[in-house]
Amino acid sequence: MKNLTEKDLFRLAIISSLTLGLAPFFPHAHIWKQLMNLYHGRTMLGMDWIDLAMHGAPWILLITLSVRRMIRYAKK
């Protein structure tokens, strides 16, 4: 089995952010609803926190990989 390169991992992060990270798409992205609940200080149940982690993980991965790329290219 082939090892994932950083380029493959970056592509996977983009695809997962646009699919799992934004699902369901209508009436608005679920991650947006969860972030607004946090912003407005609404009470969130345990399932809401798990939901936030599940929908937020691809975005965290994408942001982390993007920052690593920017740092690497800034050093060149």
Where in the chain are the domains? 6-75
pLDDT score recorded for residue 30? 82
Give the global pTM.
0.81
pLDDT per residue rounded down to tens, the chain (76 residues): 578 888 899 999 999 999 988 888 888 888 888 899 899 998 889 998 998 999 999 999 999 999 999 999 998 7
Q: Where are the beta strands (DSSP E) in 1-76?
A: none
pLDDT score recorded for residue 22? 87
CB 20 within 8 A of CB 58: yes
pLDDT score recorded for residue 75? 87
pLDDT score recorded for residue 31? 87
Residue with token string 């089995």: 1
